[in-house]
């Protein structure tokens, strides 16, 4: 095959493979890449850029943050990441070609890039791990190209590159040093052994960085852990992208050795290596894939972009835990149908609405839910904690904090956040649009979101999330009964808690107010059940179970007229009559099969779902 | 050689042209208004060794600053409103006007004329301030953080360096830095969470302490060094925090229980008095007198139903004898500020090194004053026992943690007056009568931009007579790898 033809074929194969890689990234990590954007702010500000540039590895961080800021769009995240991996592969190929122009070794150059694709599945792996690697490859390519005949200049250049690379990109300098040394040895360049100086320089730089207090431990100075979240143990897959570069260089050298003896053997060696490489990649991909996290990134994408129907669809399909249930119900509240559609989906108690883990520190989900509930004090606390994310600020959480500060009338702090967001590309317009609210209570109160939020601040001073979220909801609604979302969350909370007594009290208090003009069907079902239950309850049994005669009389005050006056329709009464009859039969037959048609009702949830 | 001289001469001429090229302006008329500037350095009192007080004129017009001292005058052109003093000119100005006053007039260009605002003054005290200020930089929040660190700032210029940053120990929490007599040769701080322990440094020897014992409710918390350097008084606290639904204070940090103990740095033992470790009281924020013979602390009647009764917890200011020879306590307690009687609560008692005054923070209830908008600085004259507010230093927002200078003339304190959330250090002059003068915000090269962009709060500002010299790496190594010394109870 001629040189031009061979290159054209390789180029064609390369394009096809990168199209496939792009599809793979789209399928596996488009939402994870989006969430990376939610973990940083890139500021177009000289002081910010200068500060990043001053720290070792800062240029790689700068490159990464610059790219990641565009990941708010799924397509740009896929295109940019694929392009970055393509550049890595191309650089590896160009370097390998200098060792030996054996096109059988072409697939080898894909292996490091593929492992970086696997590394990116893990959000604890910083994106600068990829940009630093690319920078290193660029330095290595230049090193392999210039001063071919001048060994002294080459040596000086190698040393300078090692030092500069350590400063620009961090620990990849050691990989550069090893690879450059290996390259010189494989190419049998003059003074090749002296190139081991680069390795010594890289170690010396690490020593300076650790002793100077820039890095905590030597592991960060010499390994890919430099680009990994310090508090988490890194899986081995993150080392493979590094190991495979010198390995590929060695193998290319070996392929050359075999090529001189047997073309058949060369092909076999290449095939074995490539198959092993791809198999390891496939294994590592499966090890790194976290289904729960993958779903979370997707929920966050739809939440941040306010695509509520999509959020309902994906979270309903995939209710593995309370997180999924919270996002599902959150999407329903945003569409205004939470209370009405509550039992169209599986529910597992009040935690399905708002799950509060012990460590609520980085919980963006909880911040969204609390904000929707009108619990602004709690939302601001959780959002502030969640804002301190991987690389600075979570922009969505920062926006939430800013809005709550506007609601509070803390305008000076709000201005601080506006000025910060105005330095970003994607959020500056939104930030500027918030300026009109500064020091202008009238504008805040007229705004649908900010005005409602301000009116939600309870009159009664209390700590938030102290007992249960319902206590906070009571206080919010006491102050602002026209907050429809808080109203729906409250009534849903009581229904999911199977608390028919408080549901009845709640309806009594709020039915007919602006937030509860009509009674959602599940609440009607609860009220009818309340009426039926206390009217058929044996008095002696009630007393035996702690209900006084006066209480029972009070409960029995709820009659048909009461129910009708509080929003229960005839249709609900009729359905209840049929349900009651069917339930009676079920109790005799011990089989709940015939009640499956009622599984979307409060009655079914009350009697058959354990919480 | 001749050529070189010629070359130098030409260069000097060019330099002079660049620096002196702009003609001084003349003010055509003055208006009876003071200019809006940031930081507000109008009529503040500053030490002569402070870094230049650069500030910004907040208007949009072209502006000049005319500075007049005792025997000279200079003009500074505003760059985007910023007036930057050159280091040498400022130093000269301060030296010449030590003990006196400099007059500053901001002029703005309107059309072809320069209009002068009403001038204001900066008073230059003859007493210097300690050369360094240390503090923790943290997000002003709640529970979460990513980066935090202890830093030191040279007050004579703008250089800030790290004492310790949490990135070296996997982002753990570092807090409660404290120095013996403002000298960092003897210092300590706590590290919490991963690689936790108390770091104690004495003459570059670093120890890591495990300060949790079976007899105390928690690890050691709020420290204060004994002037001898042999002891450190600590509180032990069971602390919680809760968040308000709407209160402007946002957060309430409170103790469920607390005691005061004293730690011996040589024997690694702690001791206490039944009077400082009582079940009927919450004792906290200990501080020694400069002679080392008195231990001051805050104490409130214990309240069972915390946090519901958080407003009922009011801390008095108490004093007990301490005998440094045998590490024993007196058997009676004096009350300097009686909280039940006066209705307010005391935090952070700090005595001036000359022993004449005791500064503290006073607020409505509780002890964590940084989240109390009503918190203000107060003083006790220890000779007359008179208690009074430091009105000139206080603001409508939080004024809290404070630290004295070596010469007892300066006090740095935390304040949230600039935006209500992000704490900034202010420095106030305390005259011989114990009266505070108008404080000034810690100077920066470009304070407007710097403070706007800084997303951290200054926490626990402590003045130091010199720089911390122990390397961050040595501290990190100790935290990561050293065997802990277990503190025991005597």
DSSP per-residue codes, B425-476: EEEEEB-TTS-B---EEPP-SSHHHHHHH--SEEEEEEEESS---S-HHHHH
Kindly report the nearest CA distance between residue A30 and chain B, in angstroms. 26
User: Using a CB-CB distance cutoff of 8 angstroms, which residues of chain A are in contact with residue B160?
Assistant: none
How many percent of chain B have pLDDT more than 70?
95
With a cut of 60, say whether residue B16 has pLDDT above it. Answer: no
Looking at residue B21, its pLDDT comes to 45
Q: Which of B50, B96, B91 is closest to B71 using CA atoms?
A: B96
Q: What is the pLDDT of residues A406-441, one digit of tens each?
A: 999 999 999 999 999 999 999 999 999 999 999 999
Looking at residue A291, its pLDDT comes to 66
- Are B458 and B404 found together in one domain? yes
Dihedral sign (CA A55, A57, A59, A65): negative
Binned at pLDDT 50, 70 and 90, residue B70 comes out as: confident
Q: How many CA atoms within 13 Å lie on the side-chain side of B311?
A: 3
User: Using a CB-CB distance cutoff of 8 angstroms, which residues of chain A are in contact with residue B243?
Assistant: 377-378, 381, 463-465
With a cut of 50, say whether residue B20 has pLDDT above it. Answer: no
Asked if B169 lies within 8 A of A216 by C-beta distance, the reply is yes
Q: Is residue B6 one of the residues assigned to a domain?
A: no
Is A384's Cβ below 8 Å from some Cβ in B? Answer: yes
CA distance A201 to B111: 62
- Are B112 and B170 found together in one domain? no
Mean pLDDT of the B271-275 span: 93
Cβ proximity of B427 and B49 under 8 Å: no
Q: Which helix (H) or strand (E) holds A174?
A: helix A172-186
Pairing mode, strands B488-489 and B269-271: parallel
Q: Which domain holds residue B188?
A: 132-486
Binned at pLDDT 50, 70 and 90, residue B15 comes out as: very low
Q: For residue B389, give both structure tokens.
A: 């507010």
Looking at residue A284, its pLDDT comes to 64
As separate numbers, helices (DSSP H) first and strands (DSSP E) second, chain B gives 5, 36
CATH code of residue B68: 2.60.40.10
- In the numeric block, the tokens 């009659």 are attached to A559
- Alpha carbon distance, N-terminus to C-terminus of chain B: 78
- Are B112 and B150 found together in one domain? no
Q: Is residue B406 one of the residues assigned to a domain?
A: yes
- Are B137 and B94 found together in one domain? no
CATH topology classification for A297-456 = 1.25.40
Mean pLDDT of the B203-214 span: 93
* B168, B243, B419: residue with CB nearest A416: B419
Kindly report the nearest CA distance between residue B307 and chain A, in angstroms. 9
* B146, B243, B421: residue with CB nearest A381: B243
User: Using a CB-CB distance cutoff of 8 angstroms, which residues of chain B are in contact with residue A212?
Assistant: 473
CA distance A508 to A512: 9
Q: Which residue of B has its CA nearest to A471?
A: B245
Asked if B480 lies within 8 A of A217 by C-beta distance, the reply is yes
CA distance A412 to A402: 10
Q: For residue A606, give both structure tokens.
A: 């009350």
Looking at residue A472, its pLDDT comes to 95
Mean pLDDT of the B456-477 span: 96
Is A47's Cβ below 8 Å from some Cβ in B? Answer: yes
User: Using a CB-CB distance cutoff of 8 angstroms, which residues of chain A are in contact with residue B165?
Assistant: 213
- Are B301 and B365 found together in one domain? yes
Binned at pLDDT 50, 70 and 90, residue B427 comes out as: very high
Q: Which residue of A has its CA nearest to B168?
A: A216
- Are B144 and B118 found together in one domain? no
Q: Which of A283, A340, A298 is closest to A525 using CA atoms?
A: A340
Give the end of a domain, one of B125, B140, B160. Answer: B125
Binned at pLDDT 50, 70 and 90, residue A562 comes out as: very high
Q: Is residue B304 one of the residues assigned to a domain?
A: yes
Q: For residue B113, give both structure tokens.
A: 């004329």
What is the total residue count of chain A?
611
Asked if B243 lies within 8 A of A377 by C-beta distance, the reply is yes
* B420, B449, B472: residue with CB nearest A413: B420
- Are B121 and B143 found together in one domain? no
Q: Which of B323, B361, B328, B326 is closest to B345 using CA atoms?
A: B361
Which of residues 26 through 45 in chain A touch B, CB cutoff 8 A? 45
Q: What is the pLDDT of residues A52-106, one digit of tens each?
A: 998 889 999 999 999 999 999 999 999 999 999 999 999 999 999 888 877 667 7
With a cut of 90, say whether residue A269 has pLDDT above it. Answer: no
- Are B362 and B478 found together in one domain? yes
Q: For residue A35, give both structure tokens.
A: 């969430």
Query: What does the angle CA B290 – CA B293 – CA B299 come to, to the nearest 5 degrees?
Result: 90
Kindly report the nearest CA distance between residue A330 and chain B, in angstroms. 21
Q: For residue B341, give both structure tokens.
A: 């009687």
Cβ proximity of A181 and A198 under 8 Å: yes
CA distance A158 to B217: 58
Is B142's Cβ below 8 Å from some Cβ in A? Answer: yes
User: Which residue out of A39, A61, A213, A358 would a mutagenesis test of the B interface target, given it has the greatest number of B Cβ atoms within 10 Å?
Assistant: A213
Cβ proximity of B252 and B207 under 8 Å: no
Is B58's Cβ below 8 Å from some Cβ in A? Answer: no
Inter-CA distances, A309 with A292, A335, A353, A369, A489, Å: 20, 8, 18, 17, 19
Cβ proximity of B176 and B189 under 8 Å: yes
With a cut of 60, say whether residue B7 has pLDDT above it. Answer: no
- Are B112 and B198 found together in one domain? no
Looking at residue B19, its pLDDT comes to 47
Q: Which residue of B has its CA nearest to A374?
A: B245
Looking at residue A106, its pLDDT comes to 79
CA distance B474 to B482: 10
**Angle at which helices A172-186 and A128-145 cross, to 10°:** 30
Which range of A394-408, A460-474, B12-26 scores highest in mean pLDDT? It is A394-408
User: Using a CB-CB distance cutoff of 8 angstroms, which residues of chain B are in contact with residue A421?
Assistant: none
Q: Which of A119, A146, A127, A129 is closest to A80 using CA atoms?
A: A127
User: Using a CB-CB distance cutoff of 8 angstroms, which residues of chain A are in contact with residue B170?
Assistant: 216, 230-231
Q: Is residue B180 one of the residues assigned to a domain?
A: yes
Structurally, how many domains does chain B consist of?
2
Q: How many CA atoms within 13 Å lie on the side-chain side of A518?
A: 6
Cβ proximity of A162 and A201 under 8 Å: yes
Q: For residue A29, give both structure tokens.
A: 């990590």
Phi (first) and psi of residue B486, to 5 degrees: -80, 125
CA distance A566 to A527: 9
Find how far residue B18's CA is from the centre of its chain: 40
Mean pLDDT of the A136-143 span: 96
Spell out the residues 6+ positions from residue B140 whose beta carbon is closer than 8 angstroms to its own: B421, B422, B423, B456, B457
Find how far residue B96's CA is from the centre of its chain: 28
Asked if B455 lies within 8 A of A420 by C-beta distance, the reply is yes
Is B473's Cβ below 8 Å from some Cβ in A? Answer: yes
Q: For residue A185, give both structure tokens.
A: 């040895």
Asked if B170 lies within 8 A of A416 by C-beta distance, the reply is no
User: Using a CB-CB distance cutoff of 8 angstroms, which residues of chain B are in contact with residue A386?
Assistant: 144
Mean pLDDT of the B398-406 span: 97
Question: Using CB atoms within 10 A of its CB, is residue A128 exposed (0-12), middle (13-18) or buried (19+)?
Answer: buried
CATH code of residue B280: 2.120.10.30
Q: Is residue B1 one of the residues assigned to a domain?
A: no
Binned at pLDDT 50, 70 and 90, residue B306 comes out as: confident
Which range of A231-240, A423-432, B191-200 scores highest in mean pLDDT? It is A423-432
Asked if B422 lies within 8 A of A216 by C-beta distance, the reply is no
User: Using a CB-CB distance cutoff of 8 angstroms, which residues of chain A are in contact with residue B242?
Assistant: 463-464, 466
Q: For residue A473, give both structure tokens.
A: 């909801």
Give the end of a domain, one of B125, B157, B180. Answer: B125
- Are B397 and B317 found together in one domain? yes
Q: Which residue of A has its CA nearest to B244?
A: A463
With a cut of 50, say whether residue B17 has pLDDT above it. Answer: no
Mean pLDDT of the A312-333 span: 91
User: Using a CB-CB distance cutoff of 8 angstroms, which residues of chain A are in contact with residue B252?
Assistant: 463
Which of residues 446 through 465 in chain B touch A, CB cutoff 8 A? 449, 452-453, 455
Domain boundaries defined on chain A: 10-289, 297-456, 520-608
Cβ proximity of A244 and B197 under 8 Å: no
Which of residues 239 through 278 in chain B touch A, CB cutoff 8 A? 242-248, 250-252
Give the end of a domain, one of B68, B103, B125. Answer: B125
Gyration radius (Cα) of chain A, Å: 32
Kindly report the nearest CA distance between residue A338 and chain B, in angstroms. 24
Is B167's Cβ below 8 Å from some Cβ in A? Answer: yes
Asked if A458 lies within 8 A of B194 by C-beta distance, the reply is no
Query: DSSP assignment, residue A107?
Result: G
Dihedral sign (CA A559, A563, A566, A570): negative
Range scoring the smallest mean pLDDT among A2-16, A165-179, A355-369? A2-16
Asked if B139 lies within 8 A of A475 by C-beta distance, the reply is no
Mean pLDDT of the B272-292 span: 95
Q: Which residue of A has its CA nearest to B241?
A: A463
Q: Which helix (H) or strand (E) holds A475?
A: helix A469-479
User: Using a CB-CB distance cutoff of 8 angstroms, which residues of chain A are in contact with residue B141?
Assistant: 381, 384-385, 388
Cβ proximity of B333 and B339 under 8 Å: no
Q: Is residue B434 one of the residues assigned to a domain?
A: yes
Kindly report the nearest CA distance between residue A308 and chain B, in angstroms. 28
Range scoring the smallest mean pLDDT among A207-211, A411-415, A581-585? A581-585
- Are B151 and B284 found together in one domain? yes
CA distance A269 to A108: 11
Is B307's Cβ below 8 Å from some Cβ in A? Answer: yes
* A47, A216, A393: residue with CB nearest B476: A216
Q: Which helix (H) or strand (E) holds B225?
A: strand B220-225
Average model confidence (pLDDT) across chain A: 90
Kindly report the nearest CA distance between residue A342 and chain B, in angstroms. 27
- Alpha carbon distance, N-terminus to C-terminus of chain A: 71
Asked if A377 lies within 8 A of B246 by C-beta distance, the reply is yes
Binned at pLDDT 50, 70 and 90, residue A592 comes out as: low
* B144, B162, B473: residue with CB nearest A385: B144
Q: Which residue of A has its CA nearest to B472?
A: A213
Q: What is the pLDDT of residues A92-134, one digit of tens each?
A: 999 998 888 776 677 888 889 988 998 998 889 999 999 999 9
Asked if B242 lies within 8 A of A466 by C-beta distance, the reply is yes
Spell out the residues 6+ positions from residue B462 whose beta carbon is closer than 8 angstroms to its own: B133, B134, B135, B177, B178, B179, B182, B403, B412
User: Which residue out of A215, A373, A416, A454 would a mutagenesis test of the B interface target, given it has the greatest number of B Cβ atoms within 10 Å?
Assistant: A416
With a cut of 60, say whether residue B4 has pLDDT above it. Answer: no
CA distance A569 to A567: 6
Mean pLDDT of the A573-587 span: 88
What is the pTM (predicted TM-score) of this model? Answer: 0.91
- Are B100 and B227 found together in one domain? no
Average model confidence (pLDDT) across chain B: 92
Range scoring the smallest mean pLDDT among A448-457, B3-12, B136-145, B318-327? B3-12
Q: Got the DSSP string for A25-94?
A: HHHHHHHHHHHHHTTB-----HHHHHHHHHSTTHHHHHHHHHHHGGGGSHHHHHHHHHHHHHHHHHHHHH
* A212, A381, A457: residue with CB nearest B246: A457
Q: Is the peptide bond before B465 cis (omega within 30 degrees of 0)?
A: no
Q: For residue A193, give both structure tokens.
A: 């052994």
Dihedral sign (CA A561, A566, A569, A573): negative
What is the total residue count of chain B?
490
Q: What is the pLDDT of residues B82-135, one digit of tens each?
A: 999 999 999 999 999 999 999 999 999 998 899 999 999 999 999 999 999 999
User: Using a CB-CB distance cutoff of 8 angstroms, which residues of chain A are in contact with residue B396?
Assistant: none
């Amino acid at each position: 095959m001629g040189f031009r033809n061979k290159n054209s074929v390789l180029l064609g194969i390369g394009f096809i493979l990168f199209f496939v890689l792009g599809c793979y990234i789209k399928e596996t990590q488009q939402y994870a890449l989006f969430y990376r954007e939610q973990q940083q702010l890139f500021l177009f500000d000289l002081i910010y850029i200068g500060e990043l540039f001053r720290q070792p590895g800062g240029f790689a961080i700068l490159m990464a943050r610059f790219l990641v800021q565009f990941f708010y769009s799924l397509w740009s995240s896929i295109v940019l990441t694929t392009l970055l991996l393509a550049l890595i592969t191309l650089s590896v190929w160009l370097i390998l070609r200098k060792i030996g122009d054996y096109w059988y070794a072409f697939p080898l150059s894909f292996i490091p890039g593929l492992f970086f694709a696997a590394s990116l599945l893990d959000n604890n792996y910083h994106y600068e791990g990829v940009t630093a690697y690319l920078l290193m490859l660029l330095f290595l390519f230049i090193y392999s190209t210039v001063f071919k005949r001048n060994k002294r200049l080459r040596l000086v250049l190698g040393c300078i590159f090692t030092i500069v690379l350590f400063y620009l990109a961090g620990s990849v300098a050691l990989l550069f040093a090893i690879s450059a040394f290996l390259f010189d040895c494989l190419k049998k360049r003059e003074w090749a052994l002296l190139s081991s100086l680069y390795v010594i320089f890289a170690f010396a730089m690490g020593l300076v960085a650790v002793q100077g207090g820039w890095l905590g431990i030597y592991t960060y100075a010499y390994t890919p852990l430099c680009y990994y979240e310090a508090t988490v143990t890194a899986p081995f897959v993150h080392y493979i992208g590094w190991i495979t570069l010198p390995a590929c260089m060695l193998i290319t050298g070996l392929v050359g050795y075999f090529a001189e003896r047997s073309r058949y053997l060369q092909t076999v060696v290449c095939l074995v290596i490539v198959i092993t490489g791809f198999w390891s990649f496939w294994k590592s991909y499966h090890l790194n894939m976290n289904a729960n996290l993958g779903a979370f990134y997707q929920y966050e994408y739809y939440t941040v972009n306010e695509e509520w129907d999509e959020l309902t669809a994906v979270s309903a399909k995939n209710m593995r835990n309370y997180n999924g249930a919270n996002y599902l119900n959150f999407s329903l509240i945003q569409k205004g149908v939470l209370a009405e559609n509550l039992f169209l989906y599986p529910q597992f108690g009040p935690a399905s609405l708002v799950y509060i883990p012990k460590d609520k520190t980085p919980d963006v989900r909880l911040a969204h839910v609390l904000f929707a509930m009108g619990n602004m004090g709690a939302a601001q606390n959780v959002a502030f904690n969640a804002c301190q994310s991987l690389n600075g600020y979570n922009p969505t959480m920062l926006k939430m904090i800013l809005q709550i500060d506007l609601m509070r009338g803390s305008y000076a702090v709000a201005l601080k956040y506006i000025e910060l967001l105005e330095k970003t590309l994607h959020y500056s317009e939104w930030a500027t649009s918030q300026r009109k609210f500064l020091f202008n209570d009238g504008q805040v109160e007229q705004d649908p979101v900010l005005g409602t939020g301000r009116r939600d601040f309870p009159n009664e001073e209390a700590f938030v999330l102290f007992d249960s979220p319902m206590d906070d909801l009571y206080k919010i609604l006491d102050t602002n009964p026209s907050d429809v979302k808080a109203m729906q969350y409250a009534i849903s909370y009581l229904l999911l808690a199977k608390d028919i007594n408080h549901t009845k009290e709640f309806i009594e208090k709020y039915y007919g107010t602006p937030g509860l003009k009509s009674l959602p069907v599940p609440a009607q079902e609860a009220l009818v059940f309340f009426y039926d239950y206390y009217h058929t309850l044996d008095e002696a049994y009630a007393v035996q179970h702690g209900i006084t005669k006066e209480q029972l009389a009070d409960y029995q005050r709820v009659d048909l007229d009461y129910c009708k006056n509080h929003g229960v329709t005839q249709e609900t009464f009729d359905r209840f009559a049929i349900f009651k009859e069917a339930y009676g039969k079920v109790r005799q037959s011990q089989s709940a099969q015939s009640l499956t048609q009622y599984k979307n009702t409060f009655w079914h949830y009350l009697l058959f779902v354990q919480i | 050689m001749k050529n070189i001289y010629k070359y130098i001469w030409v260069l000097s001429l060019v330099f002079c042209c660049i620096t002196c090229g702009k003609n001084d302006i003349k003010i055509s008329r003055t208006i009876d208004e003071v200019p809006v500037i940031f930081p507000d350095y109008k009529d503040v009192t500053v030490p002569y060794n402070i870094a230049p007080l650069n500030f910004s004129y907040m208007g949009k017009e072209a502006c000049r600053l005319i500075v007049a001292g005792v025997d000279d005058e200079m003009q500074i052109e505003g760059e985007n409103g910023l007036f930057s003093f050159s280091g040498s000119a400022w130093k000269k100005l301060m030296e010449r006007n030590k003990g006196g006053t400099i007059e500053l007039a901001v002029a703005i260009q309107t059309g072809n004329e320069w209009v002068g605002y009403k001038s204001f003054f900066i008073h230059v005290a003859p007493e210097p301030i300690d050369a360094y200020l240390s503090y923790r930089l943290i997000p002003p929040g709640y529970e979460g953080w990513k980066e935090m660190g202890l830093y030191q700032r040279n007050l004579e210029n703008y250089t800030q360096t790290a004492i310790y940053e949490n990135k070296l120990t996997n982002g753990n929490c570092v807090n409660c830095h404290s120095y013996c007599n403002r000298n960092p040769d003897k210092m300590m701080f706590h590290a919490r969470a991963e690689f936790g322990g108390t770091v104690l440094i004495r003459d570059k020897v670093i120890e890591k302490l495990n300060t949790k014992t079976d007899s105390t409710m928690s690890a050691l918390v709020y420290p204060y060094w004994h002037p001898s350097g042999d002891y450190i008084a600590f509180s032990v606290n069971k602390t919680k925090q809760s968040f308000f639904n709407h209160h402007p204070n946002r957060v309430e940090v409170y103790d469920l229980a607390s005691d005061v103990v004293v730690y011996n740095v040589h024997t690694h033992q702690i001791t206490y008095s039944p009077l400082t470790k009582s079940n009927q009281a919450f004792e906290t924020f200990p501080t020694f007198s400069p002679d080392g013979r008195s231990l001051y602390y805050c104490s409130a009647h214990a309240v069972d139903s915390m946090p519901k009764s958080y407003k009922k917890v009011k801390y008095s200011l108490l004093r007990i004898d301490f005998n440094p020879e045998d590490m024993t306590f007196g058997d009676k307690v004096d009350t300097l500020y009686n909280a039940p009687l006066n209705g307010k609560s005391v935090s952070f008692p700090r005595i001036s090194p000359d022993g004449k005054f005791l500064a503290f923070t006073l607020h409505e209830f509780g002890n964590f004053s940084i989240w109390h908008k009503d918190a203000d600085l107060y003083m006790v004259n220890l000779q007359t026992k008179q208690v009074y507010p430091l009105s000139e230093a206080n603001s409508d927002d939080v004024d809290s943690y404070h630290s004295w200078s070596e010469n007892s003339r300066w006090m740095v304190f935390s304040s949230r007056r600039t935006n209500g959330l992000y704490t900034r250090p202010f420095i106030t002059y305390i005259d011989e009568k114990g009266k505070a003068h108008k404080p000034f915000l810690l100077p920066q090269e470009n304070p407007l931009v710097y403070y706007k962009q800084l997303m951290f709060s200054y926490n626990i500002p402590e003045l130091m007579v010199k720089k911390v010299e122990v390397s961050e790496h040595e501290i990190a190594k100790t935290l990561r790898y050293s065997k802990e010394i277990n503190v025991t109870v005597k």
